[in-house]
Amino acid sequence: MKDTDVKCMHTCKNSCAMLNEALRKEAAMVRFYEGVLDECNLPEVSGFIGELIDETRQAILRIIQKLNELHANSKSIDGIISSFDNTTGW
């Protein structure tokens, strides 16, 4: 599968497959940048790579936050639905 072949399956529950894939790829990118940084001895380039690492880590945090939001929203909706399922007063 090519990178551009990722398609949303629209069947997510408590999470998002697309965001999980983005998280996986961003984490791989940080590992790549860290490997490059270990090999680089030019201060200008290593400083730039360090900035890229920081930016990518921020993107990872944003993805994790969004996944947590989706999980919380799903739990809330499940709670609301289950409250209707448990009513027998009628």
Give domain status of residue 42, yes or no: yes
Total domains in the chain come to 1
Element (H, E) at 33: helix 17-39
Give domain status of residue 2, yes or no: no
pLDDT, position 64:
96
| Model pLDDT for residues 40-90, shown as the tens digit of each residue | 999 999 999 999 999 999 999 999 999 999 888 776 665 666 667 665 555
CB 49 within 8 Å of CB 37:
yes
Give domain status of residue 4, yes or no: no
pTM exceeding 0.75: no
Long-range contacts, 45-48 (Cβ 8 Å, 24+): none
Which is higher by pLDDT, 23 or 72? 23
How sure is the predictor about 9, in pLDDT bands with cuts at 50, 70 and 90? low
Element (H, E) at 65: helix 43-85
Give domain status of residue 43, yes or no: yes
Give domain status of residue 82, yes or no: no
pLDDT, position 57:
98
Range of the domain at 46: 18-74
Distance CA 48, CA 1 (A): 31
pLDDT, position 16:
83
